[in-house]
Every structure is written in structure tokens, then in C-alpha cells.
Amino acid sequence: MELSLKEQLLADYKTAMKEHDVTSKETVNLIRAAIKQHEIDQRVTLEDDADIIPIIKKQLKMRTDALADFEKAGRQDLLDSYNREIEILKKYLPEEMSEEQIREAVEKIAADSGIERSMKSMGTLMKTAMAELKGKADGSLVSKVVKSYLSGK
């Protein structure tokens, strides 16, 4: 039986503690805290992995966004630390679609929905594509593919 994301996080937290892996322990604990905070704020209990993935993605995005600042400041120690945390976070996320896979999906969505191939259809196609590809593809990449598809490139 496969563990849910929550169970996996708890198991990995215990393993990291036993192995004295401070970075893994702290990163996993941050994810668990973010999930708990979301549950408290929204007054819900998250059991479904699909509800937990956006929380992990948000943690990943915060770290990825900070990398550029650390690079500018010449903080190699923080760069190394955040890159290690990013690696750990990615373990809990499903494999994202490639640009080619997104392009195929966008073309199929447009054809199935009868969406006109012009920039006027941007909003409609983006909305439909994001609903279908949620959690499977990076939003900025979907946007890029939709723009290039609609502009006929």
C-alpha cells in the first residue's frame, strides 16, 4: 500500500531525525507546518494528496524565487542550502509535463473546445488548459505554450 503524502512526510521526518540529516528534517518539518497552517486557516483536514501538492509547490516557488537574490548577494552558503531544500521538496511532487507534452495537450484542448486560434482566445484557452493541467504542469510554461500556439508560432 502506498503512503499518502502526509504519511510519507512523517516517515521521512522520522528517518531524517534518526540519520541526523538536519536539512531534510527541517525541510520536511517546514512542509508539515505549512500543511498544518493551511488546515487551521481553512478549518479543513487535508487528506488528499492533490490538496497538499499546491502547498509544497508554494514552498518550492518561495525557495526558487530567493535563489536569484542569494546569487546577487554572493551568498553561496544560502544557495547551496536552498538548492538542497529544493531537491528535497521536488521528491514530493509528481513529475511535471514537458513543454512538448503541454503543447500537445493545449492543441487537443483547443480542438476539443473549438477555441479560435487568435490572441482574443487567450483567456478562455488558458482557463481551460490550467483546469485540465492543474498540478501536472508549470503555469508559466502553460502560458508560454498557449501564447505561442495562439500566435501561430
Structural domain harbouring 127: 99-150
Please compute the mean of the pLDDT values over residues 37-43 and round it to a whole number: 92
CA angle 80, 90, 2 (to 5 degrees): 140
* Domain co-membership, 41 together with 108: no
Into how many domains does the chain fold? 2
Q: Do residue 25 and residue 66 come from a single domain?
A: yes
Give the mean pLDDT of the chain: 87
Residues 80 and 121 in one domain: no
Asked if 145 and 74 sit in the same domain, the reply is no
Q: Virtual CA dihedral for 133, 137, 140, 145, nearest 10 degrees?
A: -70
pLDDT band at residue 132 under the 50/70/90 scheme: confident
What pLDDT, in 10s, does the model give residues 74-131? 999 999 999 999 999 989 887 878 888 888 888 888 888 888 887 887 888 888 888 8
pLDDT attached to residue 153: 65
- Do 114 and 49 lie in one domain? The reply is no
**Angle between helix 76-90 and helix 49-72 axes, rounded to 10 deg:** 160
| pLDDT tops 60 at residue 47 | yes
pLDDT of residue 1: 57
CA 88 to chain centre: 13
Do 46 and 68 belong to one domain?
yes
Q: Are residues 50 and 110 in the same domain?
A: no
Q: Are residues 14 and 70 in the same domain?
A: yes
122 to 27, 70, 102, 118, 142: CA distances (angstroms) = 37, 35, 15, 7, 11
